[in-house]
Chains A and B, each alone.
Chain A
């Protein structure tokens, strides 16, 4: 076994008290995206410039109120990674030419939703990874176009109702298309570090941000971002929802170091996916007026298949849910 970096983060007590995102922002209560941004920031420290793509986070900086202690640039929907490229390159050149001291350097971090990451900004993301841009990339994945009222994106899971995939007898699943596997799309570009995150596993989260920062090049993160308004649950339940997603196995926690995949948390036994689906209004049509065992089973089978393959590949034991 390879020697692991000695992490500063071993228990929840190690979560830094310092906050670079102040309370009182203009986003929804219980927003999983904001929570992820806050945790991410704790590891990176204050010398950060966030480069934002259009989405929920865009209204964090709502003139003249700025809850961040770091810098911010809103770019456009499709091209936040290109915005990161310009800032990174400019700082590098100015430091090399001696026009600014190294102490003025910043960590450049893209923050985008899943619409920006999976759909409209996929090309510019691909370009930035290809160019081996030295930056961080945080996709808060709430699995739909949340800011515009929860329309389907290519991150929306099968079975989810969205504003543009309402369930009808002709389309009983709501959304029937499978999510893109963004982790694997990124991995095909061979960046040095990729990880999935869940704020509900905060130590795992912080460790991965810390670990990523030891690499030069693209450090890519997808965090499951509970969305009370879009998913339809009480805002106080965000952490519980995000944890259920991990414990049912529908949101695997993993990383890829130089392309090599390893799951960082493997449940001994998966909880039934139904336990997760039933808590959210976006899956309501799978239970009422009558329970759609067929659709729920197909989702469970997909989860089982994923873990069966992963456990064989990495050699760990896991108890699947019988269908």
Chain B
């Protein structure tokens, strides 16, 4: 029976694991993810979830256990954030190289130093090149649904790559929204049991993670992983079609919003998409031809979707809630590369950095982005926009002056 509940993004992630019938959950606490593993711990102990959870000694160990359990044939779920993701980063490359399907939740949180709690995407984008597929959620419903979709894609025999589902700390992890909980039977129709390829079994010895001391062999395996990752786009499309027919909700690698006749489009992902949509709607009411393209799938990068939706626009702004220090936003050049060879590429693609460390983004700021995109049309070297409101800057200046006084 389908039912709906008010739940946080974290709880939705835990429900994703439960409904996907995860067998094994190695865990390690970190804010703001911890509610996920606390919830699962409770379900496993009271018998509501038929799985084993084990609390490990670090994220590095947690991810090692996650990958090796997948190789032994268990459906694996785990979650982390920020420093934890980076602490285990070495293992992300190993898990994908092992071709071990699993789902890892990242509850985004900006990276130290300075140490902080609220989100940006430098953590999850540090995993960009690891081979993990990446799905980014805007709403609590999306968190739940993307976990199930991620398993379908990750375990597909033409993909066999692990997946990250990202949700923003605080903005989504601790925000309650209405979430429709699918029926267990429907989920098992959508997501059959995990059927591992050559798992560790007594009857058939296998070697995994073998040494490859040969550049051409190594290249072959990496190209193979790359091509499998690209196949995940089609696999996701097919899975989404099944998902829609069973659950009635539609998920594409990107989500266009008011884009049909938009002359200016904002590219954005994750929880700030909600406020950005609101701003687009307001601009439309005032006659400004704004539109939005939300990126749901970051790896594989949905270049063809981006080209399809953004070619022919006058101006595009790319909102990066991250910063590659010494360059700028991380997603910006990826969007650029998807458009560069299109004859009808936009006149202007404006880089925007905002929301670092969970810095709030307002409706007015989103509107400013659109205005700046229009104003910069024709510019040969558009200045990147670093969002900081006047009132924020005043507070920052004041805080810094307090710190200086304290020094004296």
The residues of A with any CB-CB pair to B shorter than 8 Å are: 46-47, 49, 51-52, 58-59, 61-64, 66, 68-76, 78-87, 89-94, 97, 99-100, 103-106, 123-124, 126-127, 130-131
Contacts and interface: CB of A to CB of B under 8 A. Distances in A.
A76 B217 CA distance: 20
B160 interface: no
B40 to A, nearest CB: 14
B202 A93 contact: no
Contact of A66 (B50, B57, B210): B210
B71 A87 contact: yes
A78 B60 contact: yes
B208 interface: yes
A90 B202 contact: no
Contacts of B210: 61-64, 66, 72, 74
Contact of B73 (A52, A59, A62, A90): A90
Given A62-B211, A124-B61, A94 B23 contact: yes
Given A82-B64, A86-B66, A103-B203, A124 B58 contact: yes
B202 A106 contact: yes
B52 A70 contact: no
B94 A82 contact: no
Nearest to A72: B207
Interface in B204-254: 205-214, 217
A86 B94 contact: no
Shortest Cβ-Cβ A-B pairs, 6 listed: A127-B57, A86-B68, A82-B61, A86-B65, A90-B72, A74-B209
B61 A91 contact: no
14 contacts: A58-B211, A71-B200, A73-B68, A74-B208, A74-B209, A79-B64, A85-B61, A89-B52, A89-B69, A90-B71, A99-B73, A106-B201, A124-B64, A126-B57
Chain B CB within 10 A, most for which of A61, A66, A84, A85: A85
Interface string B64-87: 111111111110100000000000
B91 interface: yes
Given A89-B26, A106-B202, 17 more contacts: A63-B211, A71-B205, A73-B71, A73-B209, A82-B57, A82-B64, A83-B65, A86-B64, A86-B70, A89-B24, A90-B23, A90-B68, A94-B72, A97-B23, A99-B193, A100-B201, A124-B60
Contacts of A51: 68
B205 A69 contact: yes
Interface residues of B, number: 45
A294 to B, nearest CB: 42
A320 B50 CA distance: 59
Contact of A104 (B24, B56, B67, B203): B203
A75 B64 contact: yes
B51 interface: yes
A27 B61 CA distance: 28
A68 B208 CA distance: 12
Contacts of A91: 72, 200
B51 A86 contact: no
A128 to B, nearest CB: 8
B54 interface: yes
Contacts of A85: 26, 54, 56, 61, 64-65, 68
Chain B CB within 10 A, most for which of A46, A93, A123: A93
A76 B64 contact: yes
A90 B74 CA distance: 5
Nearest to A125: B57
B213 to A, nearest CB: 6
A290 B32 CA distance: 63
A63 to B, nearest CB: 4
A99 B202 CA distance: 14
A89 B193 CA distance: 18
A79 B73 CA distance: 20
Interface string B292-318: 000000000000000000000000000
Contacts of A66: 207, 210
B62 interface: yes
A46 B211 CA distance: 22
B90 interface: yes
A285 B232 CA distance: 60
B57 A87 contact: no
Chain A CB within 10 A, most for which of B24, B57, B66, B203: B57
Contact of A106 (B67, B200, B207, B212): B200
A49 B211 contact: no
Contacts of A52: 209
Given A79-B64, A123-B57, A127-B61, A89 B211 contact: no
